[in-house]
Amino acid sequence: MSILILAEHDGQQLKQSTRQAVTAAQAWNAPVHLLLLGGDTAAVAADAARVAGVAQVIRVDAAHLEHPLAEDIASVLVALAGDYQAIVGAHTAFVKNALPRAAALLDVALIADVIEIKGNNSYVRPIYAGNVLASVTNAAGLQLVTIRTTAFDAAGNGGSAAVTTLAAPAAGTLSRWVAETRNVSDRPELATARVVISGGRSLGERFESVLGPLAQQLNGALGATRAAVDAGFAPNDIQVGQTGTVVAPELYIAAGISGAAQHLAGMKDSKVIVAINHDPDAAIFQVADFGIVADLFDAVPQLTAALKQ
């Protein structure tokens, strides 16, 4: 049997998280199918068909899927589930909103936030804020799995998958899409950025003015601790950590971050970590590759100025 991936896209291209799910799904050594939901997925289907490792792209287009709701996504997954041995998605808000509902309707377990897929339906996933790795085996005939994207490389192009179109089930009536508000930014997406500049609550109202120029200079994304978000100094969509976005960029600069376990769980897999903190005993230095004991309000502007030279 095959593996079905619930794909995420922007209407034109697949999200990188879906390409990482394609890589993860290769562990089953079975044909991989991509499921696209939307109002018109013609353009993204062409992109999806080129992904190496994908055998088939399934389009399900309908007016009510232009802004797909969890109920409607789950309805499609339940209709298709009988043809697959596993349904996989990235551990993102989109998938986390739909896959648990599908698991409940199918009466099977959902194995979430997997970082390694082994044989015999066994998985490795972090628990206790990433301090323990648990090995989990699921005996169910149908596997529902979300994968931590930072643990898998993104699949590249090189494929030539067939594209098929299926009719969408009728729209659900329990909920309806009303409106959408997006934060528009010219910075890279936090989850996939090569460079992330994060700050803590100590930045206060100067969060953007201090970190923004450095992020611009490095073409990086901004991140924040939960404390900075809770205090209203940074928007919640840039929160990094166990309850925010999990990142693993090539360079992570932590400015004024103490190193709480909740935050470390979301960034400790970064390739190079630079910590700037005036407290030499801050826990962030225990995971940092480079540490600067200094006042961030002096160090960050100096670093930004040096990069401009």
Mean pLDDT of 283-297: 95
pLDDT tens for each residue of 150-202: 899 999 999 899 999 999 999 988 888 998 887 777 888 898 899 999 999 99
The 10 Å Cβ neighbour count of residue 250 is 12
Least confident of 81-85, 118-122, 271-275: 118-122
Stronger pLDDT, 125 or 243, i.e. the higher one: 125
Q: Which letter does DSSP use for residue 204 in this model?
A: G
Q: CB neighbours of 178 closer than 8 A, spacing ≥ 6?
A: none
**Closest C-alpha among 46, 26, 28 to residue 36:** 46
The pLDDT score that the predictor gives to residue 120 is 79
pLDDT tens for each residue of 10-33: 989 999 999 999 999 999 999 999
pLDDT tens for each residue of 200-212: 999 999 999 999 9
Amino acid, res. 258: S
pLDDT tens for each residue of 95-150: 999 999 999 999 999 999 999 999 778 999 998 877 889 999 999 899 999 999 88
Q: Which of 184-188, 243-247, 300-304 has the largest mean confidence?
A: 300-304
The pLDDT score that the predictor gives to residue 206 is 95
The pLDDT score that the predictor gives to residue 219 is 94
254 by DSSP, 3-state: which? strand
Asked if 221 and 242 count as a contact pair (C-beta separation under 8 A), the reply is no
Backbone angles phi, psi at 104, to 5 degrees: -65, -40
Q: Is the pLDDT of residue 53 over 80?
A: yes
CA distances from 294 to 197, 233, 274, 301 (A): 17, 21, 12, 12
